[in-house]
Structure 1
Amino acid sequence: MSASDEVKAGDVPAAEAAGGAGGGSVDEATGVRAADVEVEASRVVRIVAAVVLIVLSGTFLVGVFDIRSPKGFDPAGPRFFPLLVTSAWLLLSIGYLVEGLRSPRAGSNADRSWFEPVSVSALLVLYALLVVPLGYMIATALLFFAAARVLGSRQLVRDIVVAVVLAVVVYVAFTQFLDISLPEGVLGL
């Protein structure tokens, strides 16, 4: 066994003090572990995302009742499947919120990162405003690209390619296979 493989008795407490038993480095100025900050940010993001999902699913569920159909909620009618999907979406969103609320909290000194959830929420609102005038293809590609950048991607070419490919694949799936028309916008597709 070489000298570098040996663990000295005095090194173990120093390593634990630097990283803590749970891992993550400790900021010497604040005394907050990086792992605590990540846990708290992750918890806040989950709660915000769950609330957004609950609001959206609730809105769509109300919209299901605006669908006019002589068949009511008959499985062959146009209201049944949207009711089933939005109800399941609402229940899963509530479960996600409960899971986020029950997740462990970090110390009270933890720095909270609000940039990503607030930015993605703002992008979704902007997308809702631009999807009709710009059209589905342009608005969706811009949304995917901007969301990738907000979430930390720095691969410009890859982000553009993935955004365009995803927008085209979803567009084709909806228009060709599901026969759902999407906003044409300036491209006229």
Structure 2
Amino acid sequence: MSSSAAAQEHPRTGAPVRGWSWAEAAFPAALLALGVFTVVDASTIVAPSSVNTVGPQAFPYAVGVLLVLTSVALFVDVVRGRRGAAEDGEDVDPSATTDWVTVLKLTGSFAALVVLVEPLGWPIAATVLFGGAAWSLGARPWWRPVLAGAVLAFTTQVLFTQLLDLYLPAGPLEGVSFLG
């Protein structure tokens, strides 16, 4: 057998190295596009004249640059033929099918948040999201995840309002002092 026909081995690990496909490069390409978009979009942010230190562009620039650097590193790994070790999923049943009812319930919970956040406010819409997601994933009885969702939603509302001075829509609860 000639050396060209034999599988190439990684110089350090000795594992077989195979070429890369365009499908493997799709994720790094999408990540690169998102990073470039983030950097370009951050450059359009107008900083108020009162900003004398770090302006509102700093965080989007940092995220965009990290996305670009990560995409380059991933693409280099793809080109070099590096593969992660296959998982030995002890709790994974490879013959199991997708539970589309659960997927639809979760999708419905997210859609409800999008539709309800403006008219009903964050606390109520997030209660539907958190409670609905937990119920969809098997939490029983139904009222426990709804109660936990309400506690989480109201806690985030209060933390955003009181600590961060950021106001989430309160909906019909507008005017309640601790909700903003």
Q: Unmatched 5+ residue regions in structure 2?
A: 1-26
**Identity score, percent:** 33
**Which residue identity is paired with 2:119?**
P
What is the CA distance between 1:121 and its match in structure 2? 2.9
Normalised by the size of structure 2, how large is the TM-score? 0.52
Superposition CA RMSD, Å: 4.2
Which is helix-richer, 1 or 2? Answer: 1
Q: Tell me what 1:184 maps to.
A: 170
Q: 1:120 to 1:154 in 2, by over 3 A?
A: same
Choose between structure 1 and 2 for higher RCO, CA contacts under 8 A separated by at least 6 residues: 1
Q: Unmatched 5+ residue regions in structure 1?
A: 1-50
**Which residue identity is paired with 1:187?**
L
The answer to whether the aligner puts 1:111 opposite 2:124 as a matched pair is no
Normalised by the size of structure 1, how large is the TM-score? 0.50
Q: 1:116 to 1:187 in 2, by over 3 A?
A: same
- C-alpha distance in 2 between matches for 1:178 and 1:144: 22
What is the CA distance between 1:65 and its match in structure 2? 5.3
Question: Which secondary structure does the structure 1 equivalent of 2:114 belong to?
Answer: helix
Give the 5 Å matches for 1:104-183: 110-183=96-169
Question: Which secondary structure does the structure 2 equivalent of 1:135 belong to?
Answer: helix
Does 138-147 or 157-166 show the bigger shift? 157-166
Q: 1:142 to 1:106 in 2, by over 3 A?
A: closer
Q: Tell me what 1:47 maps to.
A: none
- C-alpha distance in 1 between matches for 2:116 and 2:43: 26
The answer to whether the aligner puts 1:80 opposite 2:61 as a matched pair is no
What is the CA distance between 1:130 and its match in structure 2? 1.4
Q: Tell me what 2:12 maps to.
A: none
The answer to whether the aligner puts 1:69 opposite 2:47 as a matched pair is yes
